[in-house]
Structure 1
Amino acid sequence: MCRWMAYSGDPILAHDLLFRPEHSIIDQSLHAKLGGFTTNGDGFGIGWYGNGNGEGAAPVVYKSTHPAWNDENLREVATQIRTPLLFAHVRASSGTPVQRSNCHPFRYGRWMWMHNGSLAGFQEIKHDLLMAVDASLFPGIEGSTDTETLFFLALTFGLADDPPTAVARAVGFVEDVGRRHGVEYPVHMTVATSDGESIWVFRYSSEKATSSLYYSTDVSQLRRLYPELEVLDRLGADARFIVSEPLGELPGAWNEVPEGSWAFVRRGEHGIQPFHPTVPA
């Protein structure tokens, strides 16, 4: 399984997000603790908004097939990126090739998408899934992963208008197709998606045994718990992290996203709701 993290808050150097935490996403690329794989070395990617690329502009992505822990270019680039919203992903391939177009996060217009998990029996159901992607969107598919296919299904089912409903329809469609092909548990996912203003995350699996997902406690509460930690003073009041596994061992710093739920984060606002797939008409 892959590992990922998302950040929303005041603009901050990407280097501080990627490399400084005790159990950073870079450390997780080599020493993951909660996933099915300790090593996530089949490439990496980061995507971000802002940093002078214009209000309303599409996100910028930087991807490589190199292991994240061994990419000096990433370390250099990260010192020059200051962003209010960052996605980072380290990959453990579930069978598709190790190539740049298969590295997360995926991007279409203003939207980004990254995923930990898999669509079971993907090679057997791939044709049916891809044929359901809207024809106007289809040329945007660059790679061969189940993750990108799920992204474009969500776009087809209205991601830009209503992300929770669109993802519920995409997942419901995959489960329906999978089960018609004899796949008992078609979907396993923790997903993050963003339009640059908000982040939506989803934790769901058909077998109700989904990989871990956590969100950070309110920064003001952390400051009260740990007044000696100066690093917390550099984070704005709205700072939030959503991560595959905690970036450190501070008690009270992390909350688990409940099984079978979706959550949203935007400046000054966040919430969690149950997630229920629906089969599109």
Structure 2
Amino acid sequence: MCRWAAYLGEPVFLEDIVTAPCHSLIAQSHCALEAKTATNGDGFGVAWYGDRAEPGLYRDVLPAWSDCNLKSLCRQIRSGLFLAHVRASTGGATSRDNCHPFVWGRWSFMHNGQIGGFEAIRRRLEESLSDELYAGLHGATDSELFFFLMLAEGLDRDPHAAASRAVSRVIAASQRAGIEPALKLTAAFADGERLFAVRYSTLGTAPTLYAGAFRNGPGRCLVSEPFDREGQDWQAVPPGSLVTMTHETMSVRAFEPAAAPMAMAG
């Protein structure tokens, strides 16, 4: 499984989360404490928002701990909203296109988890996308495809409903293929103004998710595991939850699949 961290608030340097803390995301790339595997060395990526509507994106296949460019960029870039991810592959080659975060327009997305039996249902899920969205797929991961299912289900209009319907799509495709649904989903996604996260699993246990204030002031973080356990008040987000953050508020509400898949939008 992977590790990730997301931030929303007053602009801070990316290094304040990605590289500088004692258990930063880079530290977690080689010594994760709450992951299935301690090493997350199959690439990394950061997506950050600045003066433009669409996010900047930097990804590579090197382990995060060995990329000097990542450390330099994080020391120089300030942002009020960013997503950062270190990858432990559960499927798909180690390539730049398979590294998180994924970006479409103003949206960015990253994921920790997997769609069990993905190859058996991948074609069915891809065929449900519009031609425009299908052409936007660059990698071969279940994570990127799930993001595009959310886009197809109306992410711009209603992020909660779009995520719920995308989960329902995956479950229905698994059932039609005659396999037990096995989805583990702890994902973060942002539109330049708001930050969302969902924690859900069909298997009873979902990858970890924590929320916490950033140094008691400028913003809030959502993380796979805390990057600093001293002086930080981290709250575990329960399974079956969707988190919505704005600059003023944070809410946590129940999350479950839509009752039945709906026809996909283009």
Taking structure 2 as the reference length, what is the TM-score of the superposition?
0.95
Partner of 1:27: 27
Runs of 4+ residues over 6 Å off in structure 1: none
Partner of 1:136: 132
> How far apart are 1:85 and its partner, in Å?
0.5
- Indicate the RMSD between aligned Cα atoms, in angstroms: 1.3
Alignment partner of 1:43 is 2:43: yes
**Whole-angstrom distance in 2 between the partners of 1:276 and 1:11:** 33
Is the 8 Å Cα contact of residues 113 and 193 (structure 1) preserved in structure 2? Answer: yes
Give the counterpart of 1:58 among 29, 54, 58.
Answer: 54
**Whole-angstrom distance in 1 between the partners of 2:54 and 2:241:** 27
**Whole-angstrom distance in 2 between the partners of 1:162 and 1:243:** 23
Partner of 1:164: 160
**3-state SS of paired residue (2:76):** coil
Alignment partner of 1:271 is 2:251: yes
Partner of 1:261: 241
Partner of 1:116: 112
Partner of 2:207: 211
2:20 is matched by which residue type in structure 1?
Answer: R
Partner of 2:76: 80
**Whole-angstrom distance in 2 between the partners of 1:252 and 1:110:** 31
> How far apart are 1:251 and its partner, in Å?
6.4
Q: Which moved more, 1:130-139 or 1:187-196?
A: 130-139
> How far apart are 1:183 and its partner, in Å?
2.4
- Could you list the per-position Cα deviations for residues 16-48 of structure 1 after superposition, in whole angstroms to 9, with x for gaps in the alignment? 221111111010000001111100000000000
Taking structure 1 as the reference length, what is the TM-score of the superposition?
0.90
Is the 8 Å Cα contact of residues 195 and 244 (structure 2) preserved in structure 1? Answer: yes
**Whole-angstrom distance in 1 between the partners of 2:185 and 2:192:** 22
> How far apart are 1:252 and its partner, in Å?
5.9
Is the 8 Å Cα contact of residues 174 and 186 (structure 1) preserved in structure 2? Answer: no
1:143 is matched by which residue type in structure 2?
Answer: G
Partner of 1:225: none
- Could you list the per-position Cα deviations for residues 102-132 of structure 1 after superposition, in whole angstroms to 9, with x for gaps in the alignment? 0000000000000000000001110001001
Partner of 1:101: 97
- Could you list the per-position Cα deviations for residues 130-182 of structure 1 after superposition, in whole angstroms to 9, with x for gaps in the alignment? 00112221111110000010010100000011000000000001001112223
2:182 is matched by which residue type in structure 1?
Answer: P
Partner of 1:13: 13
**Whole-angstrom distance in 2 between the partners of 1:78 and 1:272:** 29
> How far apart are 1:95 and its partner, in Å?
2.0
Q: Which moved more, 1:127-136 or 1:151-160?
A: 127-136
Which ranges of structure 2 fall in alignment gaps of 5 or more residues? Answer: none
Is the 8 Å Cα contact of residues 29 and 39 (structure 2) preserved in structure 1? Answer: yes
